[in-house]
């Protein structure tokens, strides 16, 4: 049960005004049954999983006793998140170390979990809200804290009712990027402090925003004039380089644009801007953590076996460094961005940021149970599961194709680049939708394929067009860290390409799609109990890719399938053979696909799969479609309370950029 006291009406206040923030934090976590001493991917994960399963087991006892049942399987299967508050604490510390001048306003949309919000408030964060409800969440959750966090209403197009409520509740800073919004604001309150959101080149970001928000340079004058004419003051500039941005040059371009706008506002309109809002976008997934010790090392063969080595603050994953275009860590981005801020903006300018995923992405691991499975094996002579060894699999994983980041250095052509970037983004959206509609087509193709398969492979493949030679040779990145040929094999095997490889679209036109007949399916399919209508909505909305990992007995003592007792299972020997597998979500919709062409051992109903980096844009938008309610949360904290005080106090050296 969640106990985050803080409504203004609360009589037995958990948080005391006169106590240290560290004590407030500790009591908040203890009150919410947070398990101390392990991360969401290490010991804490194991303890949390074990406790959860034990509790489910007790709760299920009554069901098990029903006379109509002769259960020989365990009904313990509810999916759950393990949320590590320690990640949030250490990320907050790191932010202060690398961005001493940038005040974080956590983007609540990313994960509005009250324990997370309150933890961040205690750690000194302010908040970026996008609606009246988000404002209410922050104000309720933080009502009993000694410090009232500040809120920026950072949605350039706000419903009037939300804006009115925001003003009544004390919010003043609001972003805008169009004239109608200025007029709306002027009609509602002259107390509003406007912050002009400018458009950015967001190419390369995981989730792009510039085709929807941000004023291009050509509109700046109009907007400043509209504000002036309406009697509102424009107090600053904001931008967002796209969520999940690992290219510091994007921040650089936006900062130079912001500087230009500061100057224009002062010289031509008399606005003395004092706020610079650098938005969010900073990566926060485990592979984006900086850990110099592991740089240059080769990836581990079995990450699961190594998991317990990564406890506490130092649990970054092994980093592959062979790539020419290395992944930019937060620390590298901040090290480039912070000095530029200092160079372009004098100290009397207040610099704020709106990080979301940076704080929470790595904080949650989702654990799902396999509730159904299917083998696509039909006729062994023609199509039998293609086993692949651990070594071969790890080779594939090691060949991981890092997203090529085009480094677009700030130049005089910034405006042109931004426009180009919007066109580019629209194309990306078009591709995304094409991909989604393809998933629908493939179901039909699959059904047709059943008949076509019996006749001739070519007929099935012809259904939507045979891939051409270039496609046959090209490698597709299917899920995080795994590559597979678009289409492989000829002759008897036909095309053993995968349905998901059908992603091919230019300017919204699907040019090529591969039919998904029976032999084109993955060898095995598993159905787990959270999907794209739940936590995995991030596949659609956050353009995320996820990687399922098998939860072994070494991670949690799971109940044996046959008897109902919790037994201490011996560690299972990891399976050596892996098969191309599909992981489906639980709903009756064919779009509910979590991953295709992932290499997994043969699994059965009752086995568990876990997914890391499930803290950002997951539970925030999970629905109850088909009656599958959002997964439960279990909190752990990889940092012991004895360190809270020094971590909250922040880095000893005021910051390396000072």
Ligand X SMILES: Cc1ncc(COP(=O)(O)O)c(C=O)c1O
Q: Which residues form the catalytic set?
A: 588
**β-strand partners of 352:** 103, 277
Nearer to ligand X among residue 6 and residue 244 (C-beta) = 244
φ, ψ for residue 528, nearest 5 deg: -110, 170
Q: Which stretch binds ligand X (CB under 6 A): 15-23, 223-231, 277-285, 475-483?
A: 277-285
Contact of 623 with 549, CB cutoff 8 Å: no
Contact of 324 with 576, CB cutoff 8 Å: no
Closest CA to 100 of 124, 129, 128, 127: 124
Contact of 212 with 178, CB cutoff 8 Å: no
Kind and range of the H or E element at 242? Answer: none
Q: Minimum CB separation from ligand X for residue 10, in Å?
A: 29
The binding track of 132-161 with respect to ligand X, each residue x by CB under 6 A or -, is ----------------------x-------
Nearer to ligand X among residue 156 and residue 630 (C-beta) = 156
Interaction between residue 279 and ligand X (CB under 6 A): yes
Of 204, 355, 534, 606, which lies in the binding site for ligand X, with binding defined by CB under 6 A? 355
Which residues have a Cβ under 8 Å from the Cβ of 59 and sit 6 or more positions away?
Answer: none
Q: Minimum CB separation from ligand X for residue 383, in Å?
A: 43
The binding track of 91-110 with respect to ligand X, each residue x by CB under 6 A or -, is ----------------x--x
Nearer to ligand X among residue 278 and residue 600 (C-beta) = 278
Of 86, 281, 299, 615, which lies in the binding site for ligand X, with binding defined by CB under 6 A? 281
Of 79, 104, 356, 559, which lies in the binding site for ligand X, with binding defined by CB under 6 A? 356
Which residues have a Cβ under 8 Å from the Cβ of 62 and sit 6 or more positions away?
Answer: none
Nearer to ligand X among residue 261 and residue 544 (C-beta) = 544
Angle, CA of 331, 333 and 335, to the nearest 5°:
65
Contact of 337 with 111, CB cutoff 8 Å: no
Q: Minimum CB separation from ligand X for residue 404, in Å?
A: 20
Nearer to ligand X among residue 46 and residue 240 (C-beta) = 240
Nearer to ligand X among residue 327 and residue 643 (C-beta) = 327
Interaction between residue 357 and ligand X (CB under 6 A): yes
Interface with ligand X in residues 553-612 (CB under 6 A): none
The binding track of 200-219 with respect to ligand X, each residue x by CB under 6 A or -, is ---------x----------
Interface with ligand X in residues 308-347 (CB under 6 A): none
Interaction between residue 173 and ligand X (CB under 6 A): no
Please tell me the number of Cα atoms within 13 Å of 436 on its side-chain side.
14
Q: Minimum CB separation from ligand X for residue 159, in Å?
A: 16
Q: Which stretch binds ligand X (CB under 6 A): 258-266, 352-360, 431-439, 639-647?
A: 352-360
Nearer to ligand X among residue 193 and residue 459 (C-beta) = 193
Q: Minimum CB separation from ligand X for residue 354, in Å?
A: 4
Which residue has the closest beta carbon to ligand X?
280
Contacts of range 186-191, beta carbons closer than 8 Å, 24 or more positions apart: 186/230, 186/231, 186/232, 188/160, 188/163, 188/164, 190/231, 190/232, 191/167
Q: Minimum CB separation from ligand X for residue 132, in Å?
A: 16
Interface with ligand X in residues 478-507 (CB under 6 A): none
Q: Minimum CB separation from ligand X for residue 277, in Å?
A: 9
Interaction between residue 358 and ligand X (CB under 6 A): yes
How many residues interact with ligand X (rule CB under 6 A)? 17
Closest CA to 560 of 47, 73, 13, 5: 73
Q: Which stretch binds ligand X (CB under 6 A): 236-244, 297-305, 395-403, 639-647?
A: 236-244
Which residues have a Cβ under 8 Å from the Cβ of 213 and sit 6 or more positions away?
Answer: 156, 177, 197, 199, 240
Contact of 260 with 198, CB cutoff 8 Å: no
Of 144, 354, 480, 523, which lies in the binding site for ligand X, with binding defined by CB under 6 A? 354
* Residue entry with tokens 């597979």: 484
Closest CA to 637 of 83, 4, 54, 5: 83
Q: Minimum CB separation from ligand X for residue 648, in Å?
A: 22
Kind and range of the H or E element at 504? Answer: none
* Residue entry with tokens 């950002």: 616
Of 46, 240, 259, 552, which lies in the binding site for ligand X, with binding defined by CB under 6 A? 240
The whole-angstrom separation of Cα 535 and Cα 71 is: 29
φ, ψ for residue 387, nearest 5 deg: -75, 150
Interaction between residue 467 and ligand X (CB under 6 A): no
* Helix/strand number for the chain, H first, E second: 18, 22
Q: Minimum CB separation from ligand X for residue 108, in Å?
A: 9
Applying CB under 6 A, which residues contact ligand X? 107, 110, 128, 154, 209, 240, 243-244, 279-282, 354-358
């Amino acid at each position: 049960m969640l106990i985050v006291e803080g409504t203004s009406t609360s009589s037995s206040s958990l948080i005391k005004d006169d106590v240290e923030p560290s004590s407030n934090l500790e009591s908040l976590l203890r009150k919410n049954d947070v398990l101390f001493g392990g991360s969401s991917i290490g010991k804490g994960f194991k303890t949390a999983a074990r406790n959860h399963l034990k509790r489910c087991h007790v709760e299920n006892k009554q069901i098990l006793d029903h006379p109509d049942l002769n259960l020989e399987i365990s009904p313990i299967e509810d999916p759950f998140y393990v949320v590590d508050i320690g990640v949030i604490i250490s990320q907050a510390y790191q932010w202060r170390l690398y961005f001493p001048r940038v005040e974080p306003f956590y983007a609540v949309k990313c994960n509005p979990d009250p324990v997370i919000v309150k933890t961040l408030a205690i750690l000194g964060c302010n908040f970026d809200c996008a609606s009246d409800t988000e404002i209410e969440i922050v104000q309720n959750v933080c009502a009993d804290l000694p410090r009232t966090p500040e809120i920026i209403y950072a949605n350039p197009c706000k419903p009037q009712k939300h804006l009115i409520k925001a003003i009544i509740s004390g919010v003043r800073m609001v972003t805008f990027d169009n004239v109608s919004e200025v007029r709306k604001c002027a009609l509602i309150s002259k107390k509003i402090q406007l912050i002009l959101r400018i458009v950015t080149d967001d190419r390369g970001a995981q989730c792009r925003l510039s085709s929807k928000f941000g004023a291009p340079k050509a509109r700046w004058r109009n907007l400043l004039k509209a504000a002036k004419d309406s009697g509102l003051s424009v107090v600053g500039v904001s931008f967002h380089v796209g969520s999940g941005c690992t290219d510091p040059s994007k921040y650089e371009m936006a900062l130079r644009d912001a500087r230009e706008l500061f100057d224009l506002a002062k010289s031509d309109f008399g606005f003395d801007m004092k706020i610079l809002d650098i938005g969010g976008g900073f990566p926060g997934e485990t592979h984006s953590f900086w850990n110099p010790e592991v740089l240059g090392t080769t990836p581990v063969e079995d990450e699961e076996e190594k998991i317990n080595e990564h406890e506490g603050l130092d649990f970054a994953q092994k980093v592959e460094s062979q790539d020419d275009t290395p992944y930019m860590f937060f620390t590298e981005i901040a090290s480039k961005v912070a000095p530029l801020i200092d160079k372009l903006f004098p100290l009397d300018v207040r610099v704020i940021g709106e990080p979301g995923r940076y704080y929470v992405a790595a904080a949650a691991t989702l654990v799902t149970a396999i509730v159904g499975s299917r083998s696509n094996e039909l006729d062994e002579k023609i199509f039998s599961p293609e086993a692949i060894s651990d070594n071969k699999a790890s080779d594939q994983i090691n060949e991981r194709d890092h997203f090529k980041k085009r480094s677009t250095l700030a130049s005089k052509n910034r405006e042109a680049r931004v426009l180009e970037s919007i066109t580019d983004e629209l194309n990306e959206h078009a591709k995304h939708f094409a991909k989604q509609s393809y998933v629908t087509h493939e179901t039909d193709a699959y059904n047709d394929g059943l008949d076509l398969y019996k006749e001739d492979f070519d007929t099935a493949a012809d259904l939507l067009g045979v891939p051409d030679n270039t496609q046959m040779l090209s490698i597709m990145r299917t899920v995080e860290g795994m590559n597979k040929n678009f289409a492989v094999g000829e002759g008897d095997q036909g095309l053993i390409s995968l349905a998901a490889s059908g992603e091919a679209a230019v300017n919204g036109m699907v040019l090529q799609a591969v039919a998904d007949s029976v032999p084109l399916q993955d060898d095995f399919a598993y159905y787990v109990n959270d999907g794209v209508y739940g936590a995995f909505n991030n596949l659609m909305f956050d353009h995320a890719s996820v990687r399922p990992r098998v939860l072994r007995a070494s991670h949690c003592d799971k109940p044996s399938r046959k008897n109902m007792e919790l037994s201490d299972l011996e560690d299972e020997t990891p399976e050596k053979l892996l098969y191309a597998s599909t992981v489906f979500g639980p709903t009756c919709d064919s779009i509910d696909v979590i991953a295709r062409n992932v290499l997994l051992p043969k699994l059965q109903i009752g086995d568990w799969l876990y997914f890391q980096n499930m803290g950002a844009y997951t539970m925030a938008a999970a629905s109850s479609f088909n009656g599958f309610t959002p997964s439960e949360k279990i909190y752990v904290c990889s940092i012991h309370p004895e360190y809270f005080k020094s971590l909250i106090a922040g880095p000893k050296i005021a910051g390396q950029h000072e």
